[in-house]
Structure 1
Amino acid sequence: MSPATTGALPRVYVPNRSSNSVSVIDTVTLKEVDRFPVGRKPQHVVPSWDLKTLWVANNASGTNKGSVTPIEPKTGKPGHEIPVDDPYNMYFMPDGSAAVIVDEAYERLDLRDPHTMALKSAIPTPTCPGINHADFSADNAYAIFTCEYGAGGLLKV
């Protein structure tokens, strides 16, 4: 494991859409040891590119009331929510220069500061309804995103 993970608690973080919360599971006892509120309709818990923060993507089901909630892996405690339009999913540029918010409802990818989540730019994706999961090429020259609605397909960015 990366040295950045030294001291992180052995936990699994489970987003609960119906209660707008995250359950914290101890991986040794397999018991819930904490539960805390987050924004509306949490979808995914994503590690930052440097592995120093976990981010909960609270997409608020297609409204503009979405947010991301940071979690400190060494304490398992959440920080303050940051408003973000529709963070259905979240990735980070391989060099750490930006967080990539998959803004499914608004059909775009938002490039944000990886620490403050301030919007840097947006990439419209109107030909990819239901933009969602992604992976970067081995040389980091492009990313491929799934298009989950309609006929499906892929989008190369």
Structure 2
Amino acid sequence: MTFKHGGKIALAPLLGQLLATRMPIDPDCDPPLLIPVPLHRWRIWKRGFNQAALLANDLAKRGKGDVLVDGLVRRKQTPSLGGLSQEERNKALEGAIAVRRGARAQIAGRAIILVDDVLTSGATSSACVGALLDAGAANVTIACFARVASGSTSSD
């Protein structure tokens, strides 16, 4: 995807708009908390941006929730997950994702929308959802721009 790997960050508003159209918000409920899937600091340094954070910020600008860009942290560097089996992906993510210590109070009791660009195997999303639920999130919904068909070898 040229958005993530091609550095085409100008696509964020278009992708955010397309995501926003599929995200109904209940005006009688508190706005959800938008939390992007985290990247390890070395990956951000290499890429220059976190594509999920760009999408989360755009969704917040469109009134789809309150953004908490650093709600989750990737505590350890993980390899690119492309080409790995489901078991290898799960093993690579063991202990890699956690709720930032100072964010627990903001997450507890809130409806969370986990934002990502592409959902491949679901291993990364599952690790994020587990961490958010362990921190007391009321519920977690995943919002992603694309879903890779089962059997594909794209990166997660």
Give the TM-score normalised by the residue count of structure 2: 0.28
Q: Which has the higher helix share?
A: 2
Give the TM-score normalised by the residue count of structure 1: 0.28
By relative contact order (CA 8 Å, sep 6+), the higher-ranking structure is 2
